[in-house]
Structure 1
Amino acid sequence: MKERNLMDSHTHPAHTSTRYRHDHRHPLISIIVVVHNAEEHISSFLTQLAALTYTNYECIIIADHCTDNTLALIKNHPMYTQQTNTIRILNSTTPGVSHAREQATLKSSGDWIWFVDVDDTFEENILTEFAHLHNLYPSATLLHLGAEHTFPNKAPQPVETPWPSRTVPFYSLRKTADTTTHFVPSTKTSNLLSHILNGHIRGYLWNKLIPGPQLRALATEGFYHSTTQNDFNLLISFLQAHPTATVAYNPTIYYHYIHHPKQLSTTAGTHTVDNTLQCIQRVLALPNIPTQPAHLINNFLLWAGIIPCTNTLLDHAAKEHSQEKAHQHYQRARQLKTQLNYSPTRQSLLHFLKNHPLRISIHALIHRILFTQPQPGIGLKLYTRLKG
């Protein structure tokens, strides 16, 4: 496959960009970033924005009730002062990231929309690769690049596992010693729902492009709002409206999701379990679900429901000072199998762990506690001991 040069002669930084607007080969990409008291990260984000090799984009920064100097730092940054036609600043009228994204989406004009977190990092050619993927597979209704979790004092971990299907050559524009990566789907585009059920695509938005017109139509009706799982809920809403959506994928890592010590997701309460279960119910209500194989449904319930919810509940059980509350968390963890109407065998769970190596030690521990420990007290003591 011959590599296509999307940028032609336009390889200059974004701050001197030429706007192609809705040129098919150079689609306009709307970058939407929600900021809430982000003065610690906003300068770094704008510097990354200025370094992007792809120039046909607009950036909408929407402030979610900031009370610090975030907005002042944006307005004084060279990237903003020199490119007021590239960056727009909006103020969200309703608190919450989902409401802010909804309002920014309605104000966007891009052919594609990219939701990015202000405190993460990404490769300077990430949008170039997205556009390259769009040109290679123009029928795809969602574009997807590889991403990784980055932890303090810990090796990065991939966000999703590679799709286990036939590999064909894929030529990347990323400038590395070996420019050949692999385009994994066995066809030019693959069914989005099946990959979500398999766990190959998780409910994150920052390594995906969603078509602008379709997303603006969803925003007009109103996004699904929740206190957590906003990314996954938006992806589910997209699938509800487009049940036969297809995805094009390049597994090369271009986005780095940074886990900060004070991050909300690391301290979220057990309400995250309720929101996760709501997401699962929404997926199981999708129009195409009845046609999906049973093993895909079981796989989804395991990776999306039992494992993360159990992990959250056991984590809170280990931290509780009250033995009674700890036992309540633990008991609910054991009841998840019944709530999700799912009873995996030891063999199927071990098969899942073998093919999904992310956080393998926690998965194995949950397996021991939920499915092999005869006495609840033993499992809780084991978990508490390992956590400590």
Structure 2
Amino acid sequence: MISVVVPFYNAAEHLPRALECLETLDDVEILLINDGSTDASPEIAENWGNGRVIHQEHSGIAAARDRGIREATGEWIWFVDSDDTFDPCILERLSAASDGVDLVVCRAHHYDSRGRIRVMEGVADEIVVEDLKEAIFDGTVRGYVWNKLFRAEVLKRAIDRADRRQRLSSLEDLMLLLDALPEIRKTRLIPFIGYHYRERSGSAIHSDPQRLENTSICAETLAKLGAPSSFRVWFEAVPGIATTAHARVPDARKLQLPLLKYLTPPALLQTWSSGHRREAVHGAVMAVTVPIGVYSPLYRARHAMEKLLVRTKC
């Protein structure tokens, strides 16, 4: 049996749609973890009647997921975010690929806050990976948990290493995956696009002031596992600098300058060679423009021009 863990917090606007999707699943255990919501979402969950609702004080999504892991009775565990949707066949496809492995990963559609869609994570052809950390280093596998089917015993052992993850306000899913690494022997990646992730303007990726610090904690953890210098380019430095510009963070340059130490010519060349060519080029531009204080205004000008072009096409 598969246990489906759905943590939620003040999700009254989106939870009904998620529950509607969950109704398409057969022979599963559904655990709805209310992380201290103050809106109508607990009542919505209780009135639904098709799952087990567990209430706890507001402790953050990492603690809510951990609670779901502890309460799960299935052999496998799958996570769903309360504001996302998925293909009705996702569990059938993930389960069919689970023989002989501890983790199954599918691909997902990413809908950004401007309505753009892209395919994220995964492979074009099915493969079995024996060293998961190498797939994380090169970006083939990312930290998201909602496109992954975990063997339950793997996660139950992993949450014993939860202390550092509990304090992260974002990227806590990547830390869960890293905590599970020692328990995962084999991983199967399938090309099926089964999950639909929606990035909203109020999500942590946009609004969390600790995002840079959390990213640094994850990057340091992976560096200790042997991540190459290219990893910090595409995972930490490039998105970190771009995010401060996009969010119009006050004194953004003070936050950007420390990240430049990762944008060395050898690291950028390695990033290019590893397939992250867009990040390599972006990083090279940052290495030149951040020191002289023009990166943020150039970034915002380009962003404004893109929005204008979209309106013109409409």
Q: 1:386: Cα distance to partner?
A: 2.1
Alignment length, in residue pairs?
A: 302
Q: 1:94: Cα distance to partner?
A: 4.7
Aligned residue number for residue 59 of structure 1? 30
Q: 1:350: Cα distance to partner?
A: 3.9
Aligned amino acid, residue 238 of structure 1: A
Give per-residue Cα distances to partners, 1:125-160, cap 9 Å, x unaligned. Answer: 1000011101xxx22121101112113553311222
Aligned residue number for residue 266 of structure 2? 344
Alpha-carbon distance change, 297 to 148 in structure 1, aligned in 2, over 3 angstroms: same
Asked whether the 8 Å contact 1:62–1:104 carries over to 2, the reply is yes
Q: 1:301: Cα distance to partner?
A: 1.8
1:98 aligns to 2:98 (yes or no): no
Counterpart CA distance in 2 for 1:228 and 1:73 is 26
TM-score normalised by L of structure 2: 0.87
Aligned residue number for residue 107 of structure 2? 146
Match of 2:214 among 275, 286, 307: 275
Counterpart CA distance in 2 for 1:60 and 1:116 is 10
Summarize the alignment of residues 1-388 of structure 1 with structure 2, pairs less than 5 Å apart.
28-52=1-25, 55-77=26-48, 80=49, 83=50, 87-134=51-98, 138-160=99-121, 162=123, 182-183=125-126, 185=127, 188-220=128-160, 222=162, 224-225=165-166, 226-239=168-181, 241-242=182-183, 245-269=185-209, 271-286=210-225, 289=226, 297-316=228-247, 319-320=248-249, 325-326=250-251, 329-338=252-261, 340=262, 343-344=265-266, 347-352=269-274, 355-356=275-276, 360=278, 364-370=281-287, 372-373=288-289, 376-388=292-304
Aligned amino acid, residue 201 of structure 2: P
Q: 5+ residue gaps in structure 2?
A: 305-314
Asked whether the 8 Å contact 1:151–1:259 carries over to 2, the reply is yes
Whichever structure has more helix as a proportion of its residues is: 2
Larger radius of gyration, structure 1 or 2? 1
Q: 1:373: Cα distance to partner?
A: 3.6
- SS of residue matched to 1:236: helix
Asked whether the 8 Å contact 1:301–1:342 carries over to 2, the reply is no
Q: 1:45: Cα distance to partner?
A: 1.2
Percent identity for Structure 1 against Structure 2: 24
Asked whether the 8 Å contact 2:263–2:284 carries over to 1, the reply is no
Aligned amino acid, residue 97 of structure 1: I
Aligned residue number for residue 14 of structure 1? none
Aligned residue number for residue 175 of structure 1? none
Counterpart CA distance in 2 for 1:238 and 1:279 is 14
Give per-residue Cα distances to partners, 1:258-301, cap 9 Å, x unaligned. Answer: 122332322222x2111111011112223xx3xxxxxx612322
Q: 1:209: Cα distance to partner?
A: 1.3
Asked whether the 8 Å contact 2:106–2:122 carries over to 1, the reply is no
Counterpart CA distance in 1 for 2:94 and 2:267 is 40
Aligned residue number for residue 309 of structure 2? none
Q: 1:161: Cα distance to partner?
A: 5.6
Alpha-carbon distance change, 150 to 363 in structure 1, aligned in 2, over 3 angstroms: farther
Give per-residue Cα distances to partners, 1:90-143, cap 9 Å, x unaligned. Answer: 012352111111122111111111111011010001000011101xxx221211
- SS of residue matched to 1:40: coil
Counterpart CA distance in 2 for 1:262 and 1:378 is 27
Counterpart CA distance in 2 for 1:267 and 1:221 is 27
Aligned amino acid, residue 221 of structure 2: R
Q: 5+ residue gaps in structure 1?
A: 1-27, 164-181, 290-295
Q: 1:348: Cα distance to partner?
A: 3.6
Aligned amino acid, residue 59 of structure 1: I
